[in-house]
């Protein structure tokens, strides 16, 4: 129910969508704090990300929540091909954040190496784009993740 509410209102082009999105996210946060969330729910949360969202700051709230509940980035990496469909910019941003975190970058490398080919393809494509756009900052980090 809450995931459906997030999906239905993720563009946040009206005040009502904005409020419904925030309410659903707050409810999921409470559920997580009291009972945790099922794996399937966490995966679906990543699919709520959308580059067409008009309330950037609220979508940031979802990003922070996802980083909190998926610290090792397991579900993030698993859903990258699907995230890429509606939210390639958010996916790139989340990969950059993981590259810049000294502990998480090691988890990202492990997950990359263990991922199916289609997931590796998407990760590699985005990481190469990140590196190309800012080689001074990301060359060594991208090389670390992609080198076997």
pLDDT at 103: 87
Long-range (24+ apart) CB contacts under 8 A made by 50-56 are 50/10, 50/11, 50/86, 50/87, 50/90, 51/86, 51/87, 51/88, 51/89, 51/90, 52/11, 52/86, 53/10, 53/11, 53/12, 54/11, 54/12, 54/13, 55/12, 55/18, 55/21
What is the distance between the alpha carbons of residues 1 and 4, in angstroms, rounded to a whole number? 5
Map out the domains of the chain as residue ranges. Answer: 1-69, 72-148
What is the distance between the alpha carbons of residues 115 and 104, in angstroms, rounded to a whole number? 16
- Average pLDDT across the chain, whole number: 96
The percentage of residues in the chain with a pLDDT greater than 90, rounded to a whole number, is 97
Of residues 96, 91, 80, 83, the one with CA closest to residue 130 = 96
Beta strands in 6-49 (DSSP E): none
- 31-80 tens-digit pLDDT: 999 999 999 999 999 999 999 999 999 999 999 999 999 999 999 999 99
Q: Tokens for 76?
A: 């993030």
Reported confidence tier of residue 109, pLDDT bands at 50, 70, 90 = very high
Measured in whole angstroms, the distance separating CA 4 from the mean position of its chain's CA atoms is: 18
Of residues 120, 119, 129, the one with CA closest to residue 89 = 129
Reported confidence tier of residue 1, pLDDT bands at 50, 70, 90 = confident
pLDDT at 140: 98
- 127-136 tens-digit pLDDT: 999 999 999 9
pLDDT at 136: 98
The percentage of residues in the chain with a pLDDT greater than 70, rounded to a whole number, is 100
* pLDDT greater than 90 at residue 148: no
């Amino acid at each position: 129910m809450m995931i459906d509410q997030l999906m239905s209102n993720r563009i946040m082009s009206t005040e009502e969508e904005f409020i419904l999105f925030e309410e659903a996210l707050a409810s999921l946060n409470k559920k997580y704090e009291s009972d945790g969330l099922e794996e399937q729910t966490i995966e679906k949360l990543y699919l709520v990300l959308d580059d067409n969202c008009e309330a950037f700051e609220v979508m940031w709230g979802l990003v922070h929540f996802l980083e909190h509940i998926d610290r090792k980035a397991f579900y993030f990496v698993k859903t990258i091909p699907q995230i890429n469909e509606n939210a390639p910019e958010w996916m790139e941003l989340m990969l950059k954040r993981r590259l810049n975190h000294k502990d998480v970058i090691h988890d990202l490398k492990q997950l990359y190496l263990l991922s199916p080919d289609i997931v590796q393809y998407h990760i590699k494509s985005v990481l190469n784009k990140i590196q190309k756009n800012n080689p001074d900052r990301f060359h060594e980090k991208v090389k670390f993740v992609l080198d076997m």
